[in-house]
Amino acid sequence: IIGLRKEITLVVNGEIQQVTTYALTVRGVLRSQDYALSEFDHLSPSPGTLLSDKETIYFRVSSTIEIQADGKTVSLQTAEIRPENVLLAAGFSVFPKDRILVDGEQIDKETYLAAGKDHQIRILRGTPLTVITGNGATFFISDGDNLAEAFAREGLSVRDVDQLSLPLETPL
């Protein structure tokens, strides 16, 4: 029995635990630590892998993610922590001027979801705009909150003599 004793590093949702176990497999270690494995969780090595001393097990618990985009609400269970990958798995494309909100907060490209915690993701699509001037029309897609931000981000200046069909404060 002494030869079966192993010191295992168990990394659960990024948190490191040192575990002394007599379990033979990865699944056995998880059971001994009261973790239930779901088909959506991420586990490495696989559950049936035989353990040796000083092994490291990585376990990321899946989350329920509710996605709101394009007039639809979709819910899925996943262990993925990159919002863009979650959106792709749910069948949503993300474009350069789209904004992604996680739990109501706008995120940047380097944001990861907290593993094992449920989240809401919302895509705010960029707004297509057409500006017609004496020189022709300019089309662009904006991620601004209002018309003034859209013009500023596009490098378009508005003078007092310009006639706008909508006020600059118009939300997009």
Count CA within 13 A, CB hemisphere, residue 34: 0
- Quick check: 34 and 19 in contact, CB under 8 A? no
Q: At residue 109, does pLDDT exceed 90?
A: no
Q: How confident is the model at residue 2 (pLDDT cuts 50, 70, 90)?
A: low
- Give the whole-angstrom CA distance, residue 61 versus residue 36: 9
Residue 63 neighbours by CB distance under 10 Å: 22
pLDDT in tens, 61-71: 999 999 999 99
Percent of the chain at pLDDT > 90 equals 77
pLDDT (0 to 100) of residue 159 = 85
Q: Tell me the C-alpha distance between 25 and 164, whole Å.
A: 69
pLDDT tens-digit profile of 118-148?
Answer: 999 999 999 999 988 888 898 999 998 899 9
Query: What's the whole-number average pLDDT of the chain?
Result: 92
- Give yes or no for a cis peptide into 171 (omega within 30° of 0): no
SS (H, E, C) the chain: CHHHCEEEEEEECCEEEEEEECCCEHHHHHHHCCCCCCCCCEEECCCCCECCCCCEEEEECCEEEEEEECCEEEEEEECCCCHHHHHHHCCCCCCCCCEEEECCEECCCCCCCCCCCCEEEEEECCEEEEEEECCEEEEEEECCCEHHHHHHHHCCCCCCCCCCCCCCCCEC
Rounded Cα distance between 154 and 97, Å, is 12
Distance between CA 89 and CA 63 in Å, rounded? 14
Looking at residue 108, what is its pLDDT?
Answer: 87
Give me the mean pLDDT over the 61-84 stretch: 96
What's the pLDDT score for residue 105? Answer: 95
